[in-house]
Amino acid sequence: MSRIKTIFERLSDHIPLPETELNYTNSYTLLVAVVLSAQSTDKGVNKATKELFKTVNTPSEMIDLGLERLKSLVKTIGLFNTKASNIIKLSQLLLNEHQGEIPQNRSQLMTLPGVGQKTANVVLNVAFGQPTIPVDTHVARLANRLGLSKETHPNKIETDLESKIPKEFLKSAHHLMILHGRYTCKARSPLCKNCFISDLCNFTLKDAVKFRA
Protein backbone atom coordinates (compact mmCIF):
# COMPACT_ATOMS: atom_id res chain seq x y z
CA MET A 1 0.00 0.00 0.00
CA SER A 2 1.35 3.41 -0.92
CA ARG A 3 2.28 5.89 1.78
CA ILE A 4 -0.13 8.49 0.37
CA LYS A 5 -3.04 6.06 0.32
CA THR A 6 -2.28 5.09 3.91
CA ILE A 7 -2.24 8.76 4.93
CA PHE A 8 -5.70 9.37 3.51
CA GLU A 9 -7.10 6.11 4.82
CA ARG A 10 -6.05 7.12 8.33
CA LEU A 11 -7.38 10.65 7.89
CA SER A 12 -10.70 9.18 6.74
CA ASP A 13 -10.80 6.78 9.70
CA HIS A 14 -10.18 9.57 12.22
CA ILE A 15 -12.35 12.20 10.50
CA PRO A 16 -15.47 10.24 9.50
CA LEU A 17 -17.51 13.33 8.49
CA PRO A 18 -15.14 15.53 6.49
CA GLU A 19 -17.15 18.62 5.63
CA THR A 20 -16.96 22.38 5.65
CA GLU A 21 -17.39 24.19 8.95
CA LEU A 22 -19.01 27.15 7.20
CA ASN A 23 -22.74 27.47 7.82
CA TYR A 24 -24.96 27.78 4.74
CA THR A 25 -28.49 26.97 3.59
CA ASN A 26 -28.06 26.37 -0.14
CA SER A 27 -25.52 26.71 -2.95
CA TYR A 28 -26.00 30.48 -3.10
CA THR A 29 -25.43 31.10 0.60
CA LEU A 30 -22.45 28.74 0.44
CA LEU A 31 -20.98 30.93 -2.30
CA VAL A 32 -21.58 34.04 -0.18
CA ALA A 33 -20.00 32.42 2.88
CA VAL A 34 -16.92 31.32 0.94
CA VAL A 35 -16.45 34.80 -0.57
CA LEU A 36 -16.64 36.24 2.95
CA SER A 37 -14.19 33.65 4.30
CA ALA A 38 -11.18 34.88 2.31
CA GLN A 39 -8.48 35.81 4.85
CA SER A 40 -11.05 35.28 7.62
CA THR A 41 -11.92 32.41 9.95
CA ASP A 42 -14.94 30.16 9.45
CA LYS A 43 -15.98 30.97 13.01
CA GLY A 44 -15.97 34.70 12.27
CA VAL A 45 -17.91 34.22 9.04
CA ASN A 46 -20.52 32.04 10.74
CA LYS A 47 -21.04 34.67 13.40
CA ALA A 48 -21.59 37.36 10.76
CA THR A 49 -23.88 35.31 8.55
CA LYS A 50 -26.11 34.06 11.37
CA GLU A 51 -28.45 37.03 10.99
CA LEU A 52 -27.84 37.49 7.27
CA PHE A 53 -28.98 34.00 6.29
CA LYS A 54 -32.17 34.30 8.33
CA THR A 55 -33.59 36.59 5.64
CA VAL A 56 -31.28 36.22 2.62
CA ASN A 57 -31.12 32.92 0.73
CA THR A 58 -31.22 33.99 -2.92
CA PRO A 59 -29.51 36.55 -5.16
CA SER A 60 -32.73 38.58 -5.45
CA GLU A 61 -33.09 38.74 -1.68
CA MET A 62 -29.50 39.97 -1.46
CA ILE A 63 -30.20 42.72 -3.99
CA ASP A 64 -33.29 43.70 -2.02
CA LEU A 65 -31.21 43.83 1.17
CA GLY A 66 -28.82 46.31 -0.43
CA LEU A 67 -25.15 47.10 -0.06
CA GLU A 68 -25.30 49.28 3.05
CA ARG A 69 -27.38 46.81 5.04
CA LEU A 70 -25.12 43.96 3.94
CA LYS A 71 -22.07 45.91 5.09
CA SER A 72 -23.63 46.49 8.49
CA LEU A 73 -24.21 42.75 8.93
CA VAL A 74 -20.71 41.62 7.89
CA LYS A 75 -18.64 44.51 9.24
CA THR A 76 -16.86 42.25 11.73
CA ILE A 77 -15.19 40.40 8.84
CA GLY A 78 -11.91 41.60 7.38
CA LEU A 79 -12.15 43.47 4.06
CA PHE A 80 -15.91 43.61 4.52
CA ASN A 81 -16.39 46.65 2.26
CA THR A 82 -14.83 44.94 -0.75
CA LYS A 83 -16.47 41.60 -0.02
CA ALA A 84 -19.92 43.13 0.41
CA SER A 85 -19.54 45.03 -2.86
CA ASN A 86 -18.51 41.85 -4.67
CA ILE A 87 -21.45 39.92 -3.21
CA ILE A 88 -23.94 42.51 -4.47
CA LYS A 89 -22.28 42.51 -7.90
CA LEU A 90 -22.14 38.72 -8.19
CA SER A 91 -25.76 38.46 -7.07
CA GLN A 92 -26.83 40.81 -9.85
CA LEU A 93 -24.72 38.90 -12.36
CA LEU A 94 -26.30 35.62 -11.28
CA LEU A 95 -29.74 37.13 -11.89
CA ASN A 96 -28.79 38.70 -15.21
CA GLU A 97 -26.83 35.84 -16.75
CA HIS A 98 -27.68 32.62 -14.86
CA GLN A 99 -31.36 32.97 -13.92
CA GLY A 100 -30.29 33.22 -10.29
CA GLU A 101 -28.67 29.78 -10.33
CA ILE A 102 -25.09 28.95 -9.32
CA PRO A 103 -23.00 27.76 -12.29
CA GLN A 104 -21.61 24.24 -11.95
CA ASN A 105 -18.58 25.10 -14.06
CA ARG A 106 -15.35 26.54 -12.65
CA SER A 107 -14.66 28.95 -15.48
CA GLN A 108 -18.16 30.40 -15.23
CA LEU A 109 -17.93 30.69 -11.45
CA MET A 110 -14.64 32.55 -11.78
CA THR A 111 -16.29 35.26 -13.88
CA LEU A 112 -18.22 36.31 -10.75
CA PRO A 113 -16.75 39.22 -8.73
CA GLY A 114 -14.74 38.02 -5.74
CA VAL A 115 -14.60 34.42 -6.93
CA GLY A 116 -11.16 32.97 -7.55
CA GLN A 117 -10.10 29.41 -8.20
CA LYS A 118 -10.16 28.36 -4.54
CA THR A 119 -13.66 29.77 -3.97
CA ALA A 120 -14.94 28.15 -7.16
CA ASN A 121 -13.44 24.81 -6.15
CA VAL A 122 -15.09 24.96 -2.71
CA VAL A 123 -18.52 25.61 -4.22
CA LEU A 124 -18.12 22.86 -6.83
CA ASN A 125 -16.97 20.39 -4.19
CA VAL A 126 -19.37 21.17 -1.36
CA ALA A 127 -22.50 22.15 -3.28
CA PHE A 128 -22.19 19.88 -6.30
CA GLY A 129 -19.99 16.99 -5.16
CA GLN A 130 -17.23 17.53 -7.68
CA PRO A 131 -13.76 16.13 -6.76
CA THR A 132 -11.98 19.48 -6.64
CA ILE A 133 -9.16 20.38 -4.24
CA PRO A 134 -9.39 23.97 -2.99
CA VAL A 135 -6.00 25.00 -1.64
CA ASP A 136 -5.99 27.22 1.44
CA THR A 137 -3.21 27.71 3.98
CA HIS A 138 -4.10 24.47 5.83
CA VAL A 139 -4.05 22.36 2.67
CA ALA A 140 -0.84 24.03 1.49
CA ARG A 141 0.82 23.43 4.86
CA LEU A 142 -0.07 19.73 4.96
CA ALA A 143 0.92 19.24 1.33
CA ASN A 144 4.34 20.63 2.21
CA ARG A 145 4.79 18.79 5.49
CA LEU A 146 3.66 15.44 4.08
CA GLY A 147 5.87 15.78 1.03
CA LEU A 148 2.96 15.94 -1.40
CA SER A 149 4.10 19.24 -2.89
CA LYS A 150 6.98 21.66 -2.48
CA GLU A 151 5.25 24.33 -4.55
CA THR A 152 4.22 27.66 -3.03
CA HIS A 153 1.54 28.79 -5.49
CA PRO A 154 -1.92 27.32 -4.73
CA ASN A 155 -2.65 26.38 -8.35
CA LYS A 156 0.58 24.39 -8.59
CA ILE A 157 -0.09 22.74 -5.22
CA GLU A 158 -3.56 21.81 -6.48
CA THR A 159 -2.05 20.20 -9.58
CA ASP A 160 0.39 18.18 -7.46
CA LEU A 161 -2.36 16.97 -5.14
CA GLU A 162 -4.66 16.00 -7.99
CA SER A 163 -1.90 13.86 -9.48
CA LYS A 164 -0.87 12.16 -6.22
CA ILE A 165 -3.98 11.63 -4.10
CA PRO A 166 -5.79 8.36 -4.87
CA LYS A 167 -9.00 8.91 -6.83
CA GLU A 168 -11.26 7.57 -4.09
CA PHE A 169 -10.13 10.34 -1.72
CA LEU A 170 -10.18 13.30 -4.11
CA LYS A 171 -13.64 14.54 -3.13
CA SER A 172 -12.92 14.53 0.61
CA ALA A 173 -9.19 15.28 0.49
CA HIS A 174 -9.29 19.02 1.09
CA HIS A 175 -11.75 18.69 3.99
CA LEU A 176 -9.56 16.02 5.59
CA MET A 177 -6.46 18.18 5.19
CA ILE A 178 -8.15 21.35 6.44
CA LEU A 179 -9.56 19.69 9.56
CA HIS A 180 -6.31 17.91 10.36
CA GLY A 181 -4.40 21.15 9.80
CA ARG A 182 -6.82 23.21 11.87
CA TYR A 183 -6.84 20.95 14.93
CA THR A 184 -3.66 18.84 14.85
CA CYS A 185 -1.07 19.87 12.27
CA LYS A 186 -1.18 23.52 13.30
CA ALA A 187 1.02 26.16 11.71
CA ARG A 188 3.15 27.25 14.67
CA SER A 189 2.74 24.45 17.18
CA PRO A 190 1.81 21.20 15.44
CA LEU A 191 0.61 18.49 17.83
CA CYS A 192 2.97 15.88 16.45
CA LYS A 193 2.79 13.69 19.57
CA ASN A 194 -0.96 13.36 19.09
CA CYS A 195 -0.82 12.88 15.33
CA PHE A 196 -1.99 9.55 13.90
CA ILE A 197 0.06 9.98 10.70
CA SER A 198 3.27 11.21 12.35
CA ASP A 199 5.08 8.00 11.37
CA LEU A 200 4.38 8.86 7.73
CA CYS A 201 5.62 12.43 8.04
CA ASN A 202 9.24 13.60 8.08
CA PHE A 203 8.37 17.23 8.79
CA THR A 204 10.55 19.57 10.81
CA LEU A 205 9.86 23.29 11.09
CA LYS A 206 13.06 24.13 9.20
CA ASP A 207 11.71 22.25 6.17
CA ALA A 208 8.61 24.43 5.76
CA VAL A 209 8.09 26.51 2.64
CA LYS A 210 6.10 29.73 2.58
CA PHE A 211 2.69 29.53 0.94
CA ARG A 212 1.83 32.31 -1.53
CA ALA A 213 -1.91 32.99 -1.27
Active-site annotation holds for 136 = yes
Amino acid at 200: L
Q: Assign 97 to helix, strand or coil.
A: helix
Among the listed residues 118, 156, 160, 167, the single catalytic one is 118
Give DSSP secondary structure letters for 112-138: STT--HHHHHHHHHHHH--------HH
Helical ranges in 38-183 per DSSP H = 42-55, 59-65, 67-74, 80-98, 106-109, 117-128, 137-145, 154-164, 170-183
Active-site annotation holds for 13 = no
Q: How far apart are the first and last CA of the chain?
A: 33
CA 10 to chain centre: 21
Give the integer Cα–Cα distance in Å for 92 and 90.
5
Among the listed residues 13, 54, 64, 136, the single catalytic one is 136
List active site positions.
Answer: 118, 136
